[in-house]
Amino acid sequence: MEPVEAGPAPRSRLWWWFVAAFAVQLAAWGVWLTIAARHPVQDVPLVRAR
C-alpha cells in the first residue's frame, strides 16, 4: 500500500461568518443612529417628589 498524500486542509469559512455578522451589526447601528438623529426625543420635565 502506498501512503496517500493529504492535500492542504480545506479553509474554514467561519471567519467570513464573523466578518458578515460584524458588517450586518455595523449597518444596523448606522441605520438606528440615522433614524434616532432625525427623530430627537422630547425633554420631559421631572417632577420632584415631596
**If DSSP states are collapsed to H, E and C, what string results for 1-48?**
CCCCCCCCCCCCCHHHHHHHHHHHHHHHHHHHHHHHHHCCCCCCCCCC
Structure confidence by residue, pLDDT tens digits, 12-50 = 889 999 999 999 999 999 999 999 999 988 888 888 776
pLDDT band at 1 (very low <50, low <70, confident <90, very high): low
CA distance readout (Å), 4 to 7, 10, 11, 19: 9, 17, 20, 35
- Say what the pLDDT of residue 40 is: 87
Say what the pTM is.
Answer: 0.59
